[in-house]
């Protein structure tokens, strides 16, 4: 059986590098807008949630949070945790069960809520997990309260460019998965204009790990290339009180999805994650009419 520990360390290093690149770019955008806002970083330690943790090293992470002129609220979090899952929750996780509840997970999670309603909100998350199996998951999706076709097309083109070198069917598969996943059943609407979503890209051996890791890196690079360009194009546009109201109502839908349906939120809460880091995805202000 493969020891995935050094591979987890490599994935963690990449996620931390990607975080640093993204945060530097977002801070640069704030400078361009005349703001001195910067990310504040708060470390946290995972709390044991199951007997199998045995009070050992359970890992933790760092929450990065910035509130500025362009980014009303943006969180960029990296975590690396390990231990034992609650037996009931273990039954819902790929490769885990009550008899084998051990897990490890490392990943980056980003959500940005923008001050100008003309600028889309965005989500990006990539991760590597191990139980009795090892796999990558993640994706990125655009969430504009006031959609522009140009932005949607550009974002999807970037995701397609990340997918195509790895498998000819990745983009269509993962786009459809995002459309299905980022859907709010009780509202009968999608959360945004989509992107890609993938999970359980299993690593049966080291070669498969390298392939899936390369793809996951390309998703992060594609996001870093595409989203800041969209922000710069839209952040100076004028907007009306009606635009702001539409944004606040849209944020209510976003919050509903993340609190009711999002698997990442549930995973964090069930594995002893930091509450503030888990719920950083919630908007700073929203309305329900």
CB 9 within 8 A of CB 24: no
C-alpha to C-alpha distance for 199 and 166, rounded to whole angstroms: 15
123 is catalytic: yes
The three-state secondary structure class of 141 is strand
C-alpha to C-alpha distance for 165 and 37, rounded to whole angstroms: 37
Q: For 52, which DSSP code?
A: G
Q: Write down the catalytic residue from 113, 123, 156, 190.
A: 123
Taking each continuous run of H as one helix and of E as one strand, the counts in the chain are 8, 9
Closest by CA position to 25, among listed 219, 225, 209, 173 = 225
Tokens 């996780």 -> residue: 93
Q: Which residues contact 179 (CB under 8 A, 6 or more apart)?
A: 190, 194
Q: Residues 241, 253, 201, 213: is their CA dihedral positive or negative?
A: positive
Q: Which residues are catalytic?
A: 123
């Amino acid at each position: 059986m493969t020891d995935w520990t050094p591979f987890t360390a490599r994935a963690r290093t990449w996620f931390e590098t990607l975080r640093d690149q993204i945060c530097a770019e977002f801070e640069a955008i704030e400078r361009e807008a005349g703001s001195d806002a910067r990310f504040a970083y708060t470390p946290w330690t995972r709390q044991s949630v199951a007997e199998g943790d045995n009070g050992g090293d359970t890992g933790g992470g760092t929450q990065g949070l910035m509130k500025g002129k362009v980014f009303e609220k943006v969180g960029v979090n990296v975590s690396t945790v390990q231990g034992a899952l609650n037996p009931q929750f273990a039954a819902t996780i790929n490769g885990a069960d009550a008899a084998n509840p051990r897990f490890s997970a490392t990943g980056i999670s980003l959500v940005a809520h923008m001050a100008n309603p003309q600028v889309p909100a965005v989500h990006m998350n990539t991760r590597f997990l191990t139980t009795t199996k090892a796999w990558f998951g993640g994706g990125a999706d655009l969430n504009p309260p006031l959609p522009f076709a140009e932005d949607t097309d550009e974002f999807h083109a970037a995701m397609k460019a990340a997918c195509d070198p790895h498998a000819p069917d990745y983009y269509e598969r993962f786009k459809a998965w995002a459309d299905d996943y980022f859907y709010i059943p009780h509202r009968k609407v999608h959360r945004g204009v989509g992107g890609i979503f993938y999970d359980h890209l299993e690593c049966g051996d080291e070669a498969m790990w390298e392939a899936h890791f390369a793809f996951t890196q390309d998703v992060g690079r594609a996001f870093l290339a595409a989203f800041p360009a969209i922000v710069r194009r839209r952040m100076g546009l004028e907007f009306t009180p009606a635009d702001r109201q539409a944004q606040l109502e849209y944020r209510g839908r976003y919050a509903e999805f993340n609190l009711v349906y999002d698997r990442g939120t549930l995973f964090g809460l069930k594995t002893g994650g930091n509450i503030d880091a888990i719920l950083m995805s919630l908007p700073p202000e929203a309305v329900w009419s």
